[in-house]
Structure 1
Amino acid sequence: MKAFVYREYGTSEVLQLEDVAVPEPGDEQVLVRVIAASVNPYDWHHLTGKPYLVRLMAGFRRPKEPTMLGADMAGRVESVGSAVTRWRPGDEVFGMRSGAFGEYVVCGQDRLARKPANVTFEQAAAVPMAGLTALQSLRDKGKVKAGQQVLIIGASGGVGTLAVQLAKAFGAHVTAVCSTRNVETVRGLGADRVIDYTGEDFVHSGHRYDLILDGPGNRSIRDRRRVLARNGILVMYSGPKKNRWVGPLLSTLRVSLASSFGTQKMTGMMTSNSKADLDLLGQLMAQGKVTPWIERTHPLVELPRAIDYVGTGHARGKVVITIG
């Protein structure tokens, strides 16, 4: 099969499209023919080996085998192991698994969700990592409730665009922050109010929010406290990538430390791969309550170009790779 492989850290130039063996599923595993996969900042971090914290898991001097990128994917079940009971060949599925930027991938049977019939493979592939991050940030860390005032900073990104829709599905009143070129798109996703940060500073808006989701993390803790309700919660799911050692984790540590003082809670986020949550995201897509915004699609051969774009930090919505 065709798949992108990398054997050293670096720019997209170290990626090579090669013929590799089709993986064999174990007894409780499923072989999926990948039809679409999406690019995440996660892939850029692992490709470059930055921040260096990534190398504690991926390999210090060079990446550990198997050296295939990609996590989010959607496709059709090709074959199943002898102990698999949930899936049959031909089933349309989506989920997260390392090595998604190839024609086939092997997954545990409990790592997949059924793709809704009214959702494209490209849309389904755009959801897993960003959707799980948005859902778990809102529901588990943020304790979102109907009627709450929710502020989403970075609302035009992969997580932000899904968070806007999920917060509305939970019954919240959503204020979204983005740049001028994204205002109408974000409003179309269901945001009740959109702040164009190029012309208005949400810190001086006079509003306070029960829950703030922050991806960019480029405002001071004092600024964020200023717009957070007295007993409000701020959840950071990413942050600035400038620190070469720990990257966004530095901002997460700072807000967590600040949370030790006062009644406002400020916390970081670690996404969990949950089949139950993937199933829920599938149901919400089927109901039309969540529709991923795909800014660009690229064929597999253009993966280096797509990763370069996501690595700039200016991608809007999701960038999807078509494979099958």
Structure 2
Amino acid sequence: MKAIVRDRYGDADCLELRDVREPVPGKGEVVLDVHAAGLDRGAWHVMTGRPLIGRVAMGVRRPRWPIGMEVAGVVREVGEGVTQLAVGDAVLGAGTATYAERARAKAKHLVPKPDALSYVQAAALPVSAVTALHAVRDAGRVRSGDRVLVIGASGGVGTYAVQIARAFGAEVAGVCRTEKVDGVRALGADPVVDYTHDDLADHAGRYDVVLDIGGLRPISDLRRLLTPRGTLVITGGEGGGRMLGGIHRQLVARAQSLFSRQRLTSFLSITKADDLATVADLAARGEIRPVIDAAVPLDAMPDAMRRLVDGEVLGKIVIAVRED
């Protein structure tokens, strides 16, 4: 079968489309015919091996983690002990090496694909929408009437965070760059701050919850946007130095939170079946919608990664392996 693979850490030039052996399901696993696979920022971390601290798990000198996690497809084969899924079931969730014609996945990390969603839409949910759910519901504790600011509102996680916060009854503002303002506004954010022209300092003291999904703004600047008892949620660890990336801000925020009335926090998002079912249901009911920047074939995955790195993407790019 065809799959995107790489033998070393590096940029998108290290990604190659090759013929590889078909996967075999282990205990508790299934093999999927992959219809679509979402491209998320985590794939960049696995591809580059950055920040370097992550190589303790990913492989110090050579990558041992396969690339690709978000997936939507049809069960082709079931492994020992799998009773909740059967051959022919349409599913979405988290798999292994999903930029491929077929992929393995643990059955407990998959849920049924709603009929209302295409495979491309379904593949855009598992990592990004679940991360947004954790940021809004769990870390942010957003409630109806809260004023929420989403920094990085145009990205894969940010577009969902705007919509989920609104679904929870919050008033939501978004931050993005000029060419994405209209797209973020269409999701229900009001106002939308264009960080290339507008000064976030004008919003000081305004928000009950700030979700920092993009950029490397100083913690002190973010705290000024909060009410005296507001909550700052730092999502992800993008940018920063080679060793820790942006993780150092998460550590600083947690330390400062010990001495402040404001909650300054971060979290590690783990994709679980209950949360997958929640975001799939929200999408099926139209309360959130996947924002698909582009659906591209498997051999275009390296170029898609370059667009993601360059910050050109509104929402998600999805690798469409089979026709929907």
TM-score range, shorter chain: over 0.9
Query: SS at 2:294's partner residue?
Result: strand
Q: Percent identity?
A: 40
Distance in structure 2 (CA, Å) of the matches to 1:207 and 1:226: 6
Aligned counterpart, 1:107? 105
Q: Deviations over 1:139-191 (max 9, x none)?
A: 11111111111111110011100000000111111111112211111111122
Whichever residue aligns with residue 69 of structure 1, its letter is I
Whichever residue aligns with residue 315 of structure 1, its letter is V
- Out of 136, 141, 144, the residue aligned to residue 143 of structure 1 is 141
- 103-112 or 79-88, which moves further after superposition? 79-88
Residue 297 in structure 1 maps to residue 295 in structure 2 = yes
How do residues 160-175 of structure 1 correspond to structure 2 at under 5 angstroms? 160-175=158-173
Q: Is the 8 A contact 2:210 2:226 kept in 1?
A: yes
Whichever residue aligns with residue 284 of structure 1, its letter is L
Distance in structure 2 (CA, Å) of the matches to 1:238 and 1:68: 20
How do residues 1-324 of structure 1 correspond to structure 2 at under 5 angstroms? 1-64=1-64, 68-324=66-322
Whichever residue aligns with residue 175 of structure 2, its letter is V
Distance in structure 2 (CA, Å) of the matches to 1:13 and 1:205: 41
Distance in structure 2 (CA, Å) of the matches to 1:71 and 1:80: 19
Count of aligned pairs: 322
Distance in structure 2 (CA, Å) of the matches to 1:86 and 1:182: 41
Q: Is the 8 A contact 1:3 1:68 kept in 2?
A: no
Per the TM alignment, residue 16 of structure 1 is displaced from its structure 2 partner at its CA by 2.1
Distance in structure 1 (CA, Å) of the matches to 2:203 and 2:239: 27
Per the TM alignment, residue 112 of structure 1 is displaced from its structure 2 partner at its CA by 0.2
For normalisation by structure 2, the TM-score amounts to 0.95
Per the TM alignment, residue 206 of structure 1 is displaced from its structure 2 partner at its CA by 4.7
With over 3 angstroms needed to count, the CA separation of the structure-2 counterparts of 1:181 and 1:207, relative to structure 1, is farther
Query: SS at 1:315's partner residue?
Result: coil
Per the TM alignment, residue 207 of structure 1 is displaced from its structure 2 partner at its CA by 4.9
- 202-211 or 225-234, which moves further after superposition? 202-211
With over 3 angstroms needed to count, the CA separation of the structure-2 counterparts of 1:255 and 1:206, relative to structure 1, is closer
Segments ≥4 residues shifted beyond 4 Å: none
Distance in structure 2 (CA, Å) of the matches to 1:296 and 1:165: 20
Distance in structure 1 (CA, Å) of the matches to 2:112 and 2:190: 31
Distance in structure 1 (CA, Å) of the matches to 2:240 and 2:309: 13
For normalisation by structure 1, the TM-score amounts to 0.95
With over 3 angstroms needed to count, the CA separation of the structure-2 counterparts of 1:3 and 1:299, relative to structure 1, is same
Q: Deviations over 1:302-324 (max 9, x none)?
A: 11111122122443211111112
Per the TM alignment, residue 127 of structure 1 is displaced from its structure 2 partner at its CA by 1.1
Query: SS at 1:128's partner residue?
Result: coil
Whichever residue aligns with residue 75 of structure 1, its letter is G
Q: Is the 8 A contact 1:217 1:239 kept in 2?
A: no
With over 3 angstroms needed to count, the CA separation of the structure-2 counterparts of 1:86 and 1:197, relative to structure 1, is same
Distance in structure 1 (CA, Å) of the matches to 2:194 and 2:211: 16
Q: Deviations over 1:88-124 (max 9, x none)?
A: 2211111112201111111111110111111111111
